[in-house]
Amino acid sequence: MRRILSTLIFLAVTSPALLCYGQQPDSLALEQAIRHLKDPDWKDRSAAFHKLLGMRSVGAEPRSALAGLLRKWPDKSDEIKLALIKLLEKENVVTRERSDLFLREYAKKGPDMPDPFPDGEERSEYYATVVAAVTSLRDTRSLDALLGAIQTGGMVTSALAGLGSAALDRVIEALNSSDAGIRLSAGIVLGKMLDAENAPRVNDPVSRQKIKGALIRAAGDRSPNVRLAGVQGLPKLGDRDVTPLIQNLATSDPAKQVRDAANEALKKLR
């Protein structure tokens, strides 16, 4: 009897299709998957992540899968959320380490060097699904994890903007980064904070003044892409006292894309 029970528990843990058979194996499978999100090997973490969400393939949609999981386990939802936030923090570190190693090796060996990460495409797809899952939480506790993934694109910049004033100071700090890509993403977040769906979360005078000052800084950044983000964000404030700054960029900025954006911004401020 003990042997049969062990077999049933093993099947429930290892097969997402069997998670619905029996409350006890179901609960054990959930806990097992959460524990394995901490495994040292990213492939084991990936398997645990997909098992937890009941996703049979890397390309499956994680947000709806996560929503279903949280509905099924309301008493475990906080544990699940925190586990996924910690997972993204871990994957951010691994991603940075891999990127740093690649750049070091590229500097030494040049473009003909062998690929140090033949599993790179598979891991990138897995990383993207973790990012998608965590952005869907809209949880202020995910702030560090999202900031660590700020350069991954629109899902993260939109999620950070949606956190409003809770994320504002940390996003402004990102404008101090030596990495132009991080500064650009921070500028994009600040602009998105002023969009209609997010503006109520930063509608107090202090937050708006902080955003204004940060976007003015961005508009003076040494990177043309960051300046572009600043110029595109400033008109959303509706404050005409930034008009002289934007006029100067429209006539004097060395980057045509910034000059063009500044001219468009002036039209919005009229």
d(CA 134, CA 151): 15
Q: Is residue 161 part of a domain?
A: no
pLDDT tier, 106 (very low <50, low <70, confident <90, very high otherwise): low
d(CA 213, CA 219): 10
Residue 15, phi-psi category: left (phi > 0), alpha (psi -120 to 50), beta (remainder): beta
Residue pLDDT, tens place only, 145-186? 999 999 999 999 999 999 999 999 999 999 999 999 999 999
Q: Is residue 194 part of a domain?
A: no
pTM above 0.85, yes or no: yes
Tokens of 111: 């473009």
| Residues 6+ positions from 45 with CB-CB distance below 8 Å | 36, 37, 38, 39, 87, 90, 91
Q: Is residue 231 part of a domain?
A: no
d(CA 209, CA 202): 10
Our count of domains for the chain comes to: 1
Range of the domain at 25: 1-134
Per DSSP, 41 falls in state S
Higher pLDDT, 56 or 140: 140
Residue 166 CB burial class (10 angstroms; 0-12, 13-18, ≥19): middle
